[in-house]
Amino acid sequence: MGAALFVDNLSKEYRLGQQNARRWLGNAMLSAKQNPETLIKALDGVSFGVEQGEVLGIMGRNGAGKSTLLKLLSRITAPSSGQIKQKGRMASLLEVGTGFHPDLTGRENVFLNGAILGMRKAEVRQRLDEIVDFAGVSAFLDTPVKRYSSGMYVRLAFAVAAHLDPEILIIDEVLAVGDAEFQKKCVDKMKSASAGQGKTILFVSHNLAFVQALCPRAILLEKGQLKADGPTADVIQHYIQGGQSAQSSLTRKGTLQAELHSRQMYNEHGQPAALIQQGQPCSFVLEYHAKQSLEQVGVALGFNDMGGQRILSVWSEFQQQRFSFKPGMNTIRITLPAMKLMPANYTLISYLTSNGLVVEEVEDVQQLLVVAPALKEGFAAPSLNQGVFNDEATILLETPNT
Amino acid sequence: MNSFQRISDDYWDRILRPRSPWWKLPVREIWEYRDLILLLFRRDLIAVYKQTVLGPIWFFVGPLFTVAVYTLVFGRVAKLPSDGLPPPLFYMSGILLWSFFSSNLTAITGSLVQNASLFGKVYFPRLVVPLSILMSSLVKLGIQALMLLLLLGYFVLNTDFSWKPGLSLCLLPFLLLLLSATALGLGLVFASFSTRYRDLNHLVGFGMLLLMYASPVIYPASFVPASLQPFFALNPIAPILEAFKSGLFGLPFSLWTGLAYSSAFALFTLVLGLMAFQRVEGRFVDYI
């Protein structure tokens, strides 16, 4: 397998602000050097290479430069400096349904959209049945797409894109669309594309669990620069730790007689970690700095899913425990004998109460990624499609007594 | 990383750089996207009359009403001469080519801004859009030419008007080529600038209106007073419209130098337009 893509010292600058007569006159009189503050660097000297057949995860927070990188890779806009070298056809699913015209029928739109994505008419005709099957809209093929439900619309659009036959495929958050069943279809399609057909895939998602599950390797962008490049688990670790808000910038609510001073999560080996394997023990250490002594102290950790929904609460009250805090540092260790949450990323929220009053509530204390357990070859890994928790169970085949 | 650096440029299929040279038109790539040109063209034609009762008949309604109004206002009220032709025929022949030119130019000028959201999501050679516009204009022109023929038939059958087309009617394909090249060239120049300065869209709409009055659409070229002829000669569209009318109705034609000027103008604007377009193509998405 040879190289598929090489990004060489890539930079992209944007000019901020509106184009108007004043700017126009201003530019004529001042050179750009004289007002450099209007330029922002969205990408700054990024370099990486991708081999054919590789699935690369691209991670980074909002504004880190992911979208800019994708736009440059898919030729939507040209770089300011540096270059991108590609081997083979490249296609991107940046936003599905591009160029769909509401008044045209599903069939007409499939052809139009296919052509926009770079397919010849004959190729589309060849794959029409497959596309329509995949999207599950065969009954409505000759209906204008404006009469489609939003789900049908998105499925059809994704189906067209998924049946492109590029050597390099860029996928951005499209898995966020559709129901769980359709998502699974998409993930399977991606897996078979990379493993079976040797396709190179660049995958961008905020869903760390997806990235972890699909990509052996990942890169991390931060403020337009390449911060990490390596095995996905390491890069995710980097990502989560880099994303922890500084102690001072945490949003705290409550009487604040005691404040969270530090927090750390430990994996089953007692090492600081942001990734926890499902089924393994883990612990959370919270250090509180108390300004005065506090009685009847309760401690809680809330686990929210990506939609902000509370999935799990661990509260000292449930364990029939209350503590006393002395002025100064007080350390709380919360241990879970086994992480039962399904693979996904979660946000932790901490609560401290005293005599029933909230002393401190901190949102976004920590990001946590639960990854699938290592199973024997051939067994299905637990995933969010099957619920929120994976509890231990004993399952026996009972043979009747003879 | 170094192993990637060592790969020679010949290995790669595509190298994306900050700027592509202005003389390198992506002709091969546009050819690969020829189906898209056709489909966009089809979309433009079909989507216009989806969910309408009259459907494609709307293509006729506009020019017909315009001819009726011109006949009434300029022919009956203002009593402008029409080279001895029945006024409806005279106006129709002028409007046909003029609207081909002006609607083309206006649509191409607006094409980048109007399709900005599409361009912001997916790459294809941007020139595909102006080319598809040109194509649908040609087809609309074809449809409207049918109407001119019907009108012609009506006047031949019902009045004492006799139709004697001139030999120069053979120039029609060339005249269309000139109009297309001028519209595409100027349109691309304006489109390129309008990505930064939207003012141009307004300017072009307004300019087209003015230019129509400076062209022999509602009056014959012979009607222009001698003192204004030097200015009239600056209009590269005028000789083309005159040549068409003289060919169609067998009228004398004297603007040969004018036609040569129009050809030079068309070629010049086309090259200029392609250059300007090439220059903004890579990056206009950033500031559109």
Residue A325: predicted pLDDT: 93
Interacting residues of B143 by C-beta distance below 8 A, sequence separation 6+ = B56, B59, B60
Rounded (10°) angle between helices A106-116 and A150-162: 40
Residue B191: predicted pLDDT: 93
Would you say residue B74 lies in a domain?
yes
Domain count, chain B: 1
Region A60-76 average pLDDT: 87
Q: Which residue has the higher pLDDT, B242 or A210?
A: B242
Q: Match 């030729």 to its residue by tokens.
A: A75
Under the banding of pLDDT at 50, 70 and 90, the label for residue A94 is low
**A283–B contact, CB cutoff 8 A:** no
Would you say residue B139 lies in a domain?
yes
Q: Which residue has the higher pLDDT, A46 or A175?
A: A46
Residue A20: predicted pLDDT: 53
Residue A36: predicted pLDDT: 47
- Which of B59, B101, B61 lies closest to B217 in space, CA to CA? B101
Under the banding of pLDDT at 50, 70 and 90, the label for residue A27 is low
A61 pLDDT exceeds 90?
no
Nearest CA in chain A to B194: A19
Name the token pair of A198.
């040797």
Q: Which residue has the higher pLDDT, A30 or A156?
A: A156
A14 pLDDT exceeds 60?
yes
Q: Rounded to a whole number, what is the distance in Å from the CA of A19 to chain B's nearest CA? A: 7
Nearest to B35 among A49, A82, A120 (CB): A120
Residue A34: predicted pLDDT: 47
Residue B198: predicted pLDDT: 83
A350 pLDDT exceeds 90?
yes
Would you say residue B83 lies in a domain?
yes
A331 pLDDT exceeds 90?
yes
**Chain B residues close to A6, C-beta within 8 Å:** 4-5, 7, 12
Size of interface A-B (CB pairs under 8 A): 121
At A184, the amino acid letter reads K
Model ipTM? 0.80
A314 pLDDT exceeds 70?
yes
Nearest CA in chain B to A24: B197
Residue A294: predicted pLDDT: 93
Enumerate the H helices of A89-120 as residue ranges.
106-116
A133 pLDDT exceeds 80?
yes
Q: Which residues of A132-146 are buried (b: 16+ CB within 10 A; e: fewer)?
A: bebbebeebbeebbe
Region A36-47 average pLDDT: 82
pLDDT digits 0-9 by tens, B246-264: 899 888 888 888 999 999 9
Q: Of how many residues is chain A composed? A: 402
Residue B104: predicted pLDDT: 94
Residue B138: predicted pLDDT: 92
**A83–B contact, CB cutoff 8 A:** yes
Residue A126: predicted pLDDT: 92
Name the token pair of B49.
């009359």
Nearest CA in chain A to B16: A84
Under the banding of pLDDT at 50, 70 and 90, the label for residue B271 is very high
Under the banding of pLDDT at 50, 70 and 90, the label for residue B100 is very high
B23 pLDDT exceeds 80?
no
DSSP B107-136: HHHHHHHHTHHHHTT----TTHHHHHHHHH
- B60: helix, strand or coil: helix
Give the number of other Cβ atoms within 10 Å of residue A291's Cβ.
13
**Which of A46, A85, A229 would you mutate first to test chain B, the one with the most B CBs within 10 A?**
A85
**Which of A1, A14, A16, A75 would you mutate first to test chain B, the one with the most B CBs within 10 A?**
A75
Q: Is A373 exposed, middle or buried (0-12, 13-18, 19+ CB in 10 A)?
A: middle
Q: Which residues of A150-163 are buried (b: 16+ CB within 10 A; e: fewer)?
A: eebbbbbbbbbbbb
Name the token pair of A72.
């440059």
A284 pLDDT exceeds 90?
yes
Q: Find which of A44-48, A59-63, B43-47 is predicted with most confidence, using mean pLDDT.
A: A44-48
Residue A33: predicted pLDDT: 47
DSSP 8-state symbol, B33: T
pLDDT digits 0-9 by tens, B139-152: 989 988 988 999 89
Nearest to B12 among A86, A101, A119 (CB): A86
Least confident of A116-120, A198-202, A204-208, B41-45: A204-208
Q: Which residue has the higher pLDDT, B98 or B168?
A: B98
**B213–A contact, CB cutoff 8 A:** no
Residue A26: predicted pLDDT: 54
Residue A296: predicted pLDDT: 94
- d(CA A208, CA A241) in angstroms, rounded, equals 13
* CATH of the structural domain A3-241, one choice from 3.30.200.20, 3.40.50.300, 3.30.420.40, 1.10.260.40: 3.40.50.300
Provide the percentage of residues in chain A whose pLDDT is more than 70: 88
pLDDT digits 0-9 by tens, A153-188: 888 888 887 787 788 888 876 555 556 666 677 777
B2 pLDDT exceeds 90?
no
**Chain B residues close to A168, C-beta within 8 Å:** none
**A356–B contact, CB cutoff 8 A:** no
Under the banding of pLDDT at 50, 70 and 90, the label for residue A119 is confident
Q: What is the extent of the structural domain holding B127?
A: 23-287
Would you say residue B13 lies in a domain?
no
**B48–A contact, CB cutoff 8 A:** no
**Chain A residues close to B280, C-beta within 8 Å:** none
- B43: helix, strand or coil: helix
Nearest CA in chain A to B19: A78
Nearest to A87 among B1, B11, B197 (CB): B11
Nearest to A78 among B5, B46, B283 (CB): B283
Q: What are the boundaries of each domain within chain A?
A: 3-241, 245-373
Residue A179: predicted pLDDT: 63
Q: Which residues of A188-197 are buried (b: 16+ CB within 10 A; e: fewer)?
A: eebeebbeee
* CATH of the structural domain A245-373, one choice from 1.10.10.10, 2.30.31.10, 2.170.190.11, 2.70.50.60: 2.70.50.60
Nearest to A116 among B36, B197, B285 (CB): B36
Region B196-210 average pLDDT: 88
Would you say residue B84 lies in a domain?
yes
Q: Is B91 exposed, middle or buried (0-12, 13-18, 19+ CB in 10 A)?
A: buried
Nearest to B43 among A101, A118, A144 (CB): A101
Torsion sign (Cα): B203, B204, B209, B214: positive
Nearest CA in chain B to A46: B1
